[in-house]
Amino acid sequence: MNGTRIAFFAVGVVFAVDTVLLLGLITLKTVHRRRMERHDQRRSIYLGVLSRRLAFPLHTDYIDPEVARDGAFLDAVIDLRNTVAGPEIDTLAGIIDRYGLVKRQAARLRSRFPLGRRLRAAVSLAEMGDESSAPLLIEFLSDREPEIRIQCARGLGRMQHTPAIDAIIERFGKESPWVRSRFADTLVGFGALAAWPLLAYARVNHDYDDNAAVVEAIRVLGTIGERDIGPPLSDLLAKFRNPELKIAAIEALGYVGGPLAVTPLVAYMQDHDWRLRAKAANSLGEIGDPQASPALRLGLEDENWWVRRNSAGALAGIPGGLGILHEALHADDQFARDAAAEALADCGQLGKARERQEQGQATAADLELLGFMIEDALVP
């Protein structure tokens, strides 16, 4: 019967596939595993040899040039590169140079191989951090594979190769959110050198529709923390129309604005958008200038929970703010009382009050705070 023959054939195929899968599994477990073990053994040996070279530079063990081809040797070099700093880096750079490790990985990166090998090459180049690979990495910032682009940027950041900053910023707007966030981290690594180019980028691009990149750029500015950026950023903030941009700029000013930024930020605490009010309160806390205290005290009574919470948290970090918070425990406004209590707990005051109480050294303010937290009467 034809049907039966087909059925038998199908069963045969199925069991053939099963056998192939089973063999594949066995191969992976045995052959592949053994290969990995030998790789690890060789790597250990290389680590030993290279460590001795780092520890006593005068002794030079003989290293066969053939090791340049061994992935285990590359792994060992990279591991050491990530472990030691200072003069040992030069020794390693010399080894990288002598054995042509960069050239080899560059060739792999350029190849048409599938993702695995190329990604590995990009990661290796990034980890080796050798200046000679910088032009190549800049070139591959526009590779079709996002993970490779990320690694190239990362490598350029590790070697602090400043010409790359513009290249990375140029790609900012074209990247997906994940890649862009990785680029952002790399730019943070460049520090102050990246601040002005980023500001320029924000100035030019903030009016366009897709602001996500500019938002990210402003965030990076805040993280870099370059104080000189404060005033121009403040000016730029006044020009922004998009609320997301404004929020990012307000947040960044918290880090770079300094006392000069207090006045504009206090103005934002009156904005109709709660997100801007909340961010402004947060930033005023970061700046830590007592000028902001009155505005923050008002913020405790804001209708929005986030604004109240941020205002209270900000006060906890400002000189004199704790006193204001303690006073707010008596406020008429229920919201203000609750916000103040939460902030006093979060900043550790509650814990300290408890400790002092246990040691019999509680102040009146401590007892009041502890009592506030418990529904019933004051703690004795």
Task: Between 153 and 266, name the residue whose CB sits nearer to other proteins.
Answer: 153
Task: Between 91 and 205, name the residue whose CB sits nearer to other proteins.
Answer: 91
Contact 154, 186 (CB under 8 A): yes
> Residue 70: helix, strand or coil by DSSP?
coil
Task: Between 72 and 262, name the residue whose CB sits nearer to other proteins.
Answer: 72
Nearest-approach distance from CB 350 to other proteins, in angstroms:
5
Nearest-approach distance from CB 267 to other proteins, in angstroms:
26
Nearest-approach distance from CB 348 to other proteins, in angstroms:
6
State the Cα–Cα distance between residues 92 and 80, nearest whole angstrom: 8
Task: Between 224 and 295, name the residue whose CB sits nearer to other proteins.
Answer: 224
Nearest-approach distance from CB 237 to other proteins, in angstroms:
19
Buried b (16+ CB within 10 A) or exposed e, 335-359: bbbbbbbbbbbebebbeebbeebee
Task: Between 109 and 262, name the residue whose CB sits nearer to other proteins.
Answer: 109
Nearest-approach distance from CB 127 to other proteins, in angstroms:
8
Task: Between 52 and 110, name the residue whose CB sits nearer to other proteins.
Answer: 52
Neighbour tally for 187: CB within 10 Å? 27
Burial of 304 (0-12, 13-18, 19+ CB in 10 A): middle
State the Cα–Cα distance between residues 261 and 267, nearest whole angstrom: 10
Nearest-approach distance from CB 330 to other proteins, in angstroms:
14
Neighbour tally for 145: CB within 10 Å? 14
Read out DSSP for 130-167?
-GGGHHHHHHGGG-SSHHHHHHHHHHHHHTT-TTHHHH
